[in-house]
Amino acid sequence: MFHEGKNRAMKKLYLMRHAKSDWSGYYVSDFERTLNKRGKHDAPMMGEILKEKIAPDLIVSSPAVRAKLTAEAVAEKLGYDPAKIRFEEDIYEASATELLRIVHELPDDAQEVLLIGHNPGLTDLINRFGNVRLDNLPTASLVGFAFDVAHWREIEPGMGDYLFFEYPKKYKN
């Protein structure tokens, strides 16, 4: 459990998988794949849903096209300037260990961070953090955690307090 003291700063981390990508382009590299029709719908929809739950100080995303488009659509709905999104090449194809390193390097002046990336690294990191277990983080889905730490570098596996799990199918009939 977390105990917010006078000298502690609660860090909140939201881990989001990019929206559904388009596989129709046979000659398009994995990195260059864009969003399909469902992805173009789900990314802004999730941003709209999330604006009631999160207020990130920083959005960090993989620069892969599908992640970039997801980050921009979500940022716009959150009222976060898409020009301020930080694109981190190391998120693309990152393992959970590499993603944790990226989390450790986040600036401490950011209290809430939205990190947008890919599976299987995101699912693995979510499963390391705390009291939630996922077989697979679906596209355009997000899991939120709170950490009772003052510095991002203090976060370790098992320390996360699960906040919520949001996913597009939850809002579709």
pLDDT tens-digit profile of 60-116? 999 999 999 999 999 999 999 999 999 999 999 999 999 999 999 999 999 999 999
The model's pTM = 0.93
DSSP letters of 98-155? HHHHHHHTS-TT-SEEEEEE-TTHHHHHHHHHBS---S---TT-EEEEEEE-SSGGG-
CA distance 31 to 112: 27
110, two tokens: 């950011």
Q: Which amino acid type is present at position 165?
A: F
Residues 6+ apart with CB under 8 A from 90: 98, 101, 102
Q: How far is CA 112 from the centre of its chain?
A: 11
CATH number of the 10-171 domain: 3.40.50.1240
Res 132: pLDDT? 83
pLDDT tens-digit profile of 124-160? 999 999 778 999 999 999 999 999 999 999 999 999 9
Query: 155, 140, 152, 150: which is closest to 165 by C-alpha?
Result: 140
Domain layout of the chain by residue ranges: 10-171
User: CB–CB of 83/72 below 8 Å?
Assistant: no
- Per-residue burial over 31-64, b = 16 or more CB atoms within 10 Å of its CB, e = otherwise: eebbbbeebbbbbbbbbebbeeebebebbbbbbb
